[in-house]
Structure 1
Amino acid sequence: MFAELPLTALRSFEAAARLSSFKAAAEELHVTPTAISHQIRQLESWLGRPLFQRQPRGVALTDDGRRLFRDVHGALLEVAQSVAVLRPRPDAGCLTVTTSTSLAALWLVPRLGRFYARHPDIAVRIDTSAQVVDLEQNAGVDLAIRYGGAVPAGLHRHGGLREFFGVYGAPGRTQAEAAKSPPTLISVEWGDSQLYCRTWEAWCERAGVDWLQRAPTVRAYDEEHYAMYAAGAGQGLVLASSVVVAGNVARGLLEAYRPEIVVPGETYHVLCVPGRERHPPVRAFLAWLDEEMGVSEPAS
């Protein structure tokens, strides 16, 4: 059934496609770049179509190459995970999760104590780099928790965490701050995103207040946790996601102003390459995430 499959060439192709480099693939597979190039040419000849566009600085996949990479990468990943069950590796108890700085600092990390209490043998590495990780290209990342938007084709989605926006301030000071004419508003600016601007408008409309029409002082930060800290220090009222604000509310660092007024937000999606959700540490982490996404407070 598999006698005619060029397995060596397919492994060379997967490495070159994932790393966007014949040289890097050669280093990973401990062969020469010439050997990788030869394997790729043989595979392209066998298929009767090009898989790569050769460029001055590396290579790029053709449409056919991208389709083949998704299938081959997923298949090799499943084989590697099946083998790992029979032949455990020293790092079999590790997994890497990529997400935003704010979600990691304000929601994920404060809750990890409950995961470690249940799975002390599994180490979780949190990656909060600003660059979006391509899960199909970067095999070193197991899971991504991403905000909003459509789920990319070819990825497995596991559950989700829906948010709602409300207004919060320092405990005992929110009413006084809201009574100012106008109050100081604290917001978040993400590049060219208009999310917080539109959500402030929606919240004020639902609350029946004209704060935005009275030229309020607006203090903006590029990360949500900075905005939370500023509000907790009594510097104004912050518009915050129910997901990232839960810990500060539970610890008494922030309180909701008019909690009955909320604006629906986006959903945090949990994503991985198909098949990786069956890897034991990932499976344990996903089961734990399912529970935590129904808990409003972090671990004390």
Structure 2
Amino acid sequence: MATMRISSYLSGLEIFEVAARMESFKLAAEELFLSPSAVSQAIRKLEEDLNVELFSRQGRALALTADGRMLLQAVEKGLREIRDGIRGVTAADEGLVRIYSSPTFCSKIINPALQNYMKTSDESVSFAVISEYIPNTDRFREFDIAVLYGESFMEKKGVERLGINTLMPYCAPALAKKIHHPRDVLKFPLIFNDNQEVDWADWFRVNGIEDFNFRNAIHFNSGIQAIQSAKEGMGFYVECERIVKYEVETGLLLSPFQGKAQPVLRHLYSMYVAKNKSQHKTIQDLVAVIERAYGQLSDHSTVAM
């Protein structure tokens, strides 16, 4: 039997894997930087070439058929091995370490950790740092080190949780003088980071405040922007103690409720280290630096959830 040539299928299979994982041609198009029609056409051509139906379509809803599910399992495994192989080949430059993290964590934890590492290390090394928000996908496996935000990543293979996050409201010192009770913050603008998994509703509920409403709110899509607006006295912002450590130590922010209200405690960050790089000395050293930087504050594990 002749060996099947798959070169003509590869592009379509990669598009199929993303569309199947996202259960949406539109979301797949956004991840792949294609148009939805290009994704739809690629799937249609793949179905014609294979002579099978991969998706059942009911209006705008997509669902994998039995053939689609079987193909997805094989494609996920195959693409993972191909990507691992490419990483192994391109890792000939042992002096390059690829790092991923969300923008806020990158600014507040990764950058200082890199600075400290490069000051103390004698290794000749370069870093490629990608700072962006990624959905709940396996794209993080393309990196040597990935720090992931969100509980959805924590059950993925090879991902280890970092410490518990302690979240409290923070504000500029001038605003703190006007606060005596947790409910007092409702008199001022509340700052939101729309990419954050813990927000004001969680903190109010932990402190027994159920009848709240957000009359004055400022929404950002970045923790960096939210922290900056809080420093400028625009309102109150709920954030992880570790993330605002520098601002608190330098007096730019403070929490008026330390010892007076309950924090929200939540595992939010986790770390992935590429298996084929886990024994790499530079990566081992850098992981230890990140863990120390992230974990040098107390977890407040004695506070009730």
Does structure 1 residue 230 correspond to structure 2 residue 233?
A: no
Output the amino acid matched with 1:218: A
Deviation at 1:234, TM superposition (A): 1.7
Corresponding residue number in structure 1 for 2:128 = 125
Select between 97-106 and 129-138 the one with higher mean Cα deviation: 129-138
Does structure 1 residue 293 correspond to structure 2 residue 294?
A: yes
Corresponding residue number in structure 1 for 2:272 = 271
Deviation at 1:127, TM superposition (A): 0.9
Q: Deviations over 1:83-142 (max 9, x none)?
A: x6xxxx4x3212121111111122322332111113352222221233348556864x22
When residues 202 and 292 of structure 1 are mapped into structure 2, their CA distance, relative to the original with a 3 A threshold, is same
Give the SS at the match of 1:104: helix
Deviation at 1:144, TM superposition (A): 1.6
Output the amino acid matched with 1:289: I
Paired with 1:271 and 1:93, the residues of 2 have a C-alpha distance of 19
* Percent identity between the two aligned chains: 12
Give the SS at the match of 2:258: coil
Output the amino acid matched with 2:109: W
Structure 1: runs of 5+ lacking an equivalent:
1-5, 22-53
When residues 144 and 104 of structure 1 are mapped into structure 2, their CA distance, relative to the original with a 3 A threshold, is same
Q: Max radius of gyration: which structure?
A: 1
Deviation at 1:149, TM superposition (A): 1.7
Does structure 1 residue 195 correspond to structure 2 residue 169?
A: no
What TM-score do you get using the length of structure 1 for normalisation? 0.64
Corresponding residue number in structure 1 for 2:21 = none
CA contact (8 A) 2:13 2:75 kept: no
CA contact (8 A) 2:193 2:226 kept: no
User: How many matched pairs?
Assistant: 243
Deviation at 1:75, TM superposition (A): 7.1
Paired with 1:226 and 1:137, the residues of 2 have a C-alpha distance of 24
Output the amino acid matched with 1:175: K
Paired with 2:282 and 2:45, the residues of 1 have a C-alpha distance of 37
Paired with 1:107 and 1:75, the residues of 2 have a C-alpha distance of 27
RMSD of aligned Cα (Å): 4.0
Paired with 1:57 and 1:249, the residues of 2 have a C-alpha distance of 57
CA contact (8 A) 1:165 1:239 kept: yes
Q: Deviations over 1:31-51 (max 9, x none)?
A: xxxxxxxxxxxxxxxxxxxxx
Does structure 1 residue 65 correspond to structure 2 residue 40?
A: no
Deviation at 1:160, TM superposition (A): 1.0
What TM-score do you get using the length of structure 2 for normalisation? 0.63
CA contact (8 A) 1:165 1:199 kept: no
Corresponding residue number in structure 2 for 1:92 = 94
Paired with 2:188 and 2:293, the residues of 1 have a C-alpha distance of 33
Give the SS at the match of 2:219: strand
Output the amino acid matched with 1:117: K
CA contact (8 A) 2:109 2:290 kept: no
